[in-house]
Chains A and B, each alone.
Chain A
């Protein structure tokens, strides 16, 4: 029988049987109570054009029309050099100063050991952090929230997603709010508050039919909506807007709102945003023009504005930009790229990040080091990144995570945590 969500919250620690994680642990994080913002770029972004090996002739050979030039050439802008080997796509120019300030760090050749190149599966496996497993019901962020739940959580806003449908990473037993663009509660919520209010019908005796379960599920969802929107509105009003200027795109709007929640000191631990449309099979474009450049420009400006606001507020924020996989090293016949394997993540942070450096690994672009002789290798299992976020940013114990089998499944050669990336500072 499915636990009623409110019961679940009350029994959190006891239900897991391993004791409640110390609620004061978060205070020990460097820079104070941390907030993680995950940005999932749906479609598999072309990581190789984001952090570019600008001195490798193979890069230019493999990508005759879509490679980013090593330096400015007339109209076409060149990479922004991060070091002697790698450069940033010029459209991400707003992030370059952050790199220099130690607030941004790429993690190279991150991926999943599972060989799927299916969007749907790769996204699922990443968001559940369990490649190859199809039995898990909750995303990794939801599992974290459930594992660290404590009484009174329904009065807080620990996690939020600023879009109508929750990303899979936040789905699961623990109730998380997906806030529609309209924002806080209004007439619809007030109208239906009574009809969906708690009552005798719920969880009562009688035949458990599909109909009754269906109805109870809908009622629970409705109750969650009302309660969480109220909480959200309260907290939002506590926080002021920052001074940074955001572009007029959905990602920026979402980040701006998260900024306000952070400034409200609402105890927000996790926020998630999706950006669709990165599946560039054709006409990807190169450096200053084309679809990828445009989208990177929006991404860079949005992130820079958010980081400025977060820094101003003295908040401890880490942003993790990820995608379900990278793309083929070679461009295809339609000036685009196809689904690949290894890709890059971008990490940003106000204080907890050891930025200004590149993490992960690099083996070059020769066919023999590529997966199936076509895709970037996976040097860092993405779960290592998640594991480090949990242990370093959220101060969860590594032994605790191992005992709970937080990262289940057979797809790994070493236990998760054995090969730390070390991109986050140690907690005090």
Chain B
């Protein structure tokens, strides 16, 4: 109801205004001042700190003031989100513990359900949560601490990972988030840190039987997690660690696994029997022999290393840089990164403080950043749905679109996660899929999705002046305005289309326009 009123208000306003509001809509004739004005900031925060404006959002944020909106978003816990919560309650897997997920779904024809519900929840939350900044940041952490539901038990445990690791800690302390990732079965499984719990296969038994007596089998060491812990999660590539450190960290983390199998609780488990108890030298510090009288204390080695990594200067810098690259610019301002890193260090990794240091900094609002970032497929899909006021009854077709666009949720194979720069996504090969999405949304031809906007714009078809139709569509879908060439071509398309098709054609073109690919 609120949406209808707000949109009707927009249309009324648009129809009443004279055509030459060119200045505010046409960025190439804007003031070109170094920082953005209030209206531009309202749009900027909706595009960067939310997944794009829904109909009426821009007016709402302008009315309350962009700064107040940002402040509100920085404490997501205080924002009610009832509609979404009710919707998500229908997805049973989202609320289950790891053990319950296994008990309930580890059987034929059920195994796909947890991952299915997980990706649905991610999409629906990004689409309709009131806590937009939280969703934007969760997308960041999802890729930073990448796990793929295509790997082993992660298929079943994904919902618990998203809830207990990411959602619980994204607005907490980085050290807590990091420790939670290190001890969660999903990460231990994904990066092979857990020793296989499967029985030795017949094949292996055959080889072991025929192996020579002098044969020495390497003691369970798998470096995968240890490497990515430093390279991807904390310090960054070669930023203060060596190959020796990788091996030593791997040794310290031996025994870090989770209990699995019949009657197991699928929680973190430190199997001291397989922990390497010998002394180690890691990142310049010496770790003594684990006392055999208290083998369980060996877990503290890994914990100490993780604490140290969370506090490391290199980590503060790496996380600050990555967040700035995600939120601000593909090539973030060096000084801003330094300032944010300092906040990270001084607050001991207080993430809300770090976020605040970015989103309330004047440099975030520099004109160079405005509408300059190429949207990832996820950002494009969600912002398209929000722009047209779509409601989603069934997200299956949308998930397939994400796959066609190259970014299926929770299915990135490598631990690097999905990239967020234009360089990674702006290929001729993906433009076709983006245009196809715009076409199908405009046609209302995406299964399971109801699009309101083109119907609401139907009335505009009756307007004689194609330029006014274009203006209305631009106001509705591209409130930052379009360049003169785009505008001229939209008007040409409006003239060429029969009156009853005009709105639909223009909405399609707007969603596929160059301006809509940017945020």
A60 vs B508: C-alpha distance when bound (angstroms): 62
Binary flags per residue of B350-391, CB closer than 8 Å to A gives 1, else 0: 000000000000000001111111100000000000000000
Partner of B489, one of A179, A180, A195, A228: A195
- Chain B residues whose C-beta falls within 8 Å of the C-beta of A289 in the assembled complex: 203
Q: Is the interface of A mostly helix, strand, loop or mixed?
A: loop
B429–A222 CB distance below 8 A: no
B433–A64 CB distance below 8 A: no
A74: nearest residue on chain B (CB-CB)? Answer: B206
Residue in B196, B208, B214 with the greatest tally of chain A CB atoms within 10 Å? B196
Shortest A36–chain B CB gap in Å is 20
- Judge whether B219 is part of the interface by a CB distance below 8 angstroms: yes
Q: Within residues 129 to 151 of chain A, which ones have a CB less than 8 A from any CB in chain B?
A: none
B243–A372 CB distance below 8 A: yes
A228 vs B432: C-alpha distance when bound (angstroms): 12
Partner of A277, one of B413, B431, B514, B515: B413
A117 vs B231: C-alpha distance when bound (angstroms): 10
Q: Which of B17-25, B170-178, B259-267, B420-428 contacts A (4 or more CB under 8 A)?
A: B420-428
A191–B435 CB distance below 8 A: yes
- Chain B residues whose C-beta falls within 8 Å of the C-beta of A197 in the assembled complex: 489
- Judge whether A199 is part of the interface by a CB distance below 8 angstroms: yes
Q: Which of B52-60, B222-230, B294-302 contacts A (4 or more CB under 8 A)?
A: B222-230
- Chain B residues whose C-beta falls within 8 Å of the C-beta of A212 in the assembled complex: 27-28, 483
Task: Please count the residue pairs between chain A and chain B whose beta carbons lie under 8 angstroms apart in the complex.
Answer: 211
Q: Within residues 233 to 273 of chain B, which ones have a CB less than 8 A from any CB in chain A?
A: 237-238, 243, 246
- Chain B residues whose C-beta falls within 8 Å of the C-beta of A177 in the assembled complex: 428-429
- Chain B residues whose C-beta falls within 8 Å of the C-beta of A165 in the assembled complex: 406, 424-425, 427, 429-430
- Chain A residues whose C-beta falls within 8 Å of the C-beta of B413 in the assembled complex: 276-277
Knowing A117-B227, A117-B243, A281-B224 are in contact, say whether A225-B431 is a contact too (CB < 8 A): yes
B435: nearest residue on chain A (CB-CB)? Answer: A188
- Judge whether A209 is part of the interface by a CB distance below 8 angstroms: yes
Q: Within residues 186 to 239 of chain B, which ones have a CB less than 8 A from any CB in chain A?
A: 192, 195-196, 203-204, 207-208, 211-212, 214-215, 217-224, 227, 231, 237-238
Q: Which of A81-89, A335-343, A380-388 contacts B (4 or more CB under 8 A)?
A: A335-343
Knowing A191-B512, A209-B27, A282-B192 are in contact, say whether A228-B428 is a contact too (CB < 8 A): yes
- Judge whether A187 is part of the interface by a CB distance below 8 angstroms: yes
Number of interface residues of A (CB under 8 A): 78
Size range of the chain B interface in the assembly: 35 or more
B517–A195 CB distance below 8 A: no
Knowing A164-B427, A281-B224 are in contact, say whether A64-B432 is a contact too (CB < 8 A): no
Knowing A201-B483, A332-B222, A333-B195 are in contact, say whether A118-B237 is a contact too (CB < 8 A): yes
Knowing A225-B432, A229-B432 are in contact, say whether A333-B220 is a contact too (CB < 8 A): yes
A178–B195 CB distance below 8 A: no
B221–A332 CB distance below 8 A: yes
Shortest B464–chain A CB gap in Å is 22
A264 vs B465: C-alpha distance when bound (angstroms): 49
- Chain A residues whose C-beta falls within 8 Å of the C-beta of B227 in the assembled complex: 117-118, 339
- Judge whether B509 is part of the interface by a CB distance below 8 angstroms: yes
Shortest A196–chain B CB gap in Å is 7
A200–B485 CB distance below 8 A: yes
B207–A218 CB distance below 8 A: no
Knowing A65-B207, A209-B27 are in contact, say whether A217-B426 is a contact too (CB < 8 A): yes
- Chain A residues whose C-beta falls within 8 Å of the C-beta of B424 in the assembled complex: 165
Binary flags per residue of A263-299, CB closer than 8 Å to B gives 1, else 0: 0000000000000110101110010010000000000
- Judge whether A182 is part of the interface by a CB distance below 8 angstroms: yes
- Chain B residues whose C-beta falls within 8 Å of the C-beta of A163 in the assembled complex: 429
A330: nearest residue on chain B (CB-CB)? Answer: B218
Knowing A192-B509, A214-B374 are in contact, say whether A180-B433 is a contact too (CB < 8 A): yes
A335 vs B192: C-alpha distance when bound (angstroms): 11
A164: nearest residue on chain B (CB-CB)? Answer: B429
A164–B435 CB distance below 8 A: no
A64 vs B204: C-alpha distance when bound (angstroms): 8
- Chain A residues whose C-beta falls within 8 Å of the C-beta of B484 in the assembled complex: 200-201
- Judge whether A206 is part of the interface by a CB distance below 8 angstroms: yes
A201–B485 CB distance below 8 A: yes
- Judge whether A153 is part of the interface by a CB distance below 8 angstroms: no
Shortest B260–chain A CB gap in Å is 14
B370–A218 CB distance below 8 A: no
- Judge whether A358 is part of the interface by a CB distance below 8 angstroms: no
Shortest A66–chain B CB gap in Å is 9
A211–B223 CB distance below 8 A: no
A185: nearest residue on chain B (CB-CB)? Answer: B432
Knowing A165-B406, A209-B367, A225-B432 are in contact, say whether A334-B237 is a contact too (CB < 8 A): no
- Chain A residues whose C-beta falls within 8 Å of the C-beta of B219 in the assembled complex: 333
A221 vs B518: C-alpha distance when bound (angstroms): 13
Q: Within residues 149 to 196 of chain A, which ones have a CB less than 8 A from any CB in chain B?
A: 161, 163-166, 171, 175, 177-180, 182, 185-189, 191-192, 194-196
Partner of B514, one of A67, A116, A222: A222
A155 vs B10: C-alpha distance when bound (angstroms): 47
Q: List 22 A-B contacts (CB under 8 A).
A: A60-B211, A65-B203, A76-B203, A119-B414, A163-B429, A178-B427, A194-B492, A194-B493, A201-B483, A207-B28, A209-B32, A210-B370, A214-B518, A276-B413, A281-B222, A330-B218, A332-B218, A333-B195, A334-B192, A334-B195, A335-B204, A336-B222
**A-side interface residues toward B, CB under 8 Å?**
42-43, 60-61, 64-65, 67, 76, 115-121, 161, 163-166, 171, 175, 177-180, 182, 185-189, 191-192, 194-197, 199-202, 206-207, 209-215, 217-219, 221-222, 224-225, 228-229, 276-277, 279, 281-283, 286, 289, 330-336, 338-339, 372
